Amino acid sequence: MAETVTIGSKSYSVNLRRSGSSFHLQIDDRNYEGEFSRLNNGSLEVIIDGRRSITYSEKKSDESYVFADGINYVLHRQSRKVGSVVQDESKEDLVMSPITGKLLDRKVESGSSVSEGDVIIVLEAMKMEHRLRSPRDGIISRITSIEIGGQVKEGEIMFELGTNEHYSEPTQFQ
């Protein structure tokens, strides 16, 4: 889902899709493919088109502060205006694993109707269970194909939500 991000006085349409340690980034009409990894000091190593950068970021409310290539950026996430009512961007439809661990349970299948807060995936790391919940009402349009008991990496896509109006045939992530 595209968001409008403002840096200084310029606004950009930004769409980011992650899968494991890879990502696809679209900024306006330009597309980028890359990889990232989280380093021990909390920074991110980002590689785009063979160019390596070390970045640091912090998020507060609707602003993100990013330090990359010696430059500080302040990114402001804008709200969408619907009619005369201002609304925040809808919650993320793509849910990724926050940890590296084991897939304990997949509570639903592709095509299932879910409500906000429903447990979709259960992960285990360091003998603790982590329950991934639906951020909103919708239809599970894609869900991980990792077998129960299989290894999950941090940042790997676990499931994606669709809506009844935009429902299409369900798929599984590879």
Q: What is the pLDDT of residue 85?
A: 40
Q: Which domain holds residue 124?
A: 94-173
Residue that terminates a domain, selected from 81, 113, 146: 81
Last residue in a domain, options 32, 56, 81: 81
CB neighbour list of residue 107: distance below 8 Å, 6 or more residues apart = 118, 119, 120, 121, 122
Q: Is the pTM of this model over 0.75?
A: no
User: Per residue in 74-105, pLDDT tens?
Assistant: 877 665 444 434 334 344 677 888 888 999 99
Q: Considering its fold, how many domains does the chain have in total?
A: 2
Domain shared by 18 and 65, yes or no = yes
For the cut 60, the answer to whether the pLDDT of residue 51 exceeds it is yes
